[in-house]
Amino acid sequence: MIKNILLITSFFIMTFSCVGTKESQYHSISFEEQLRTNVDIDLPEVKIVENLHELTDIYTKLQDPKYPRSAPIPYFDSENESMILLKPQLKNHSNGDIEIIDVLMTGSEVIINYKEIENWEYAEKNQSHPILIIKINKVAKKVNLNLIKSNNT
């Protein structure tokens, strides 16, 4: 009887101690917003930009032909930094925008927690394809987007 109680107690202790382990491996990292726009263009929901040439191609695709000068293409060191393109499908605000809540990292995996927000400018222009490019001072190999539902959505 006592042996069974000890066995069950040990099982629960091991189970619950492992549950928190993965969570505690993630730590918050800072990021810099490089570009925010709203363009209906075929891009993946999330993409790690591999090099400056690829970033230049993305900026060229995003350039508005109405304006002769586009946003300057930021430099990044692909050996020590990552540029991440975000273009999530909006689920709660058809003409909204996104706001990054935090960026978490463990090893080379990044989780970007974001929420959808209203944007009167995008609503006025009937735009529904927000695009955001951020830079982190770490090298990412995998990125996951995580939509956080806010109380008013």
Tell me: the pLDDT tens digits for 6-65? 445 555 455 454 444 455 589 999 999 999 999 999 999 999 999 999 999 999 999 877
Query: Nearest to residue 127, comparing CAs of 87, 100, 85?
Result: 87
Give the H or E element holding residue 109.
strand 109-118
Tell me: the pLDDT tens digits for 100-124? 999 999 999 999 999 999 998 888 8
Chain centroid offset of residue 47 CA: 9
pTM: 0.79
Distances in whole angstroms, Cα of residue 51 to Cα of each of 11, 37, 83? 47, 21, 9
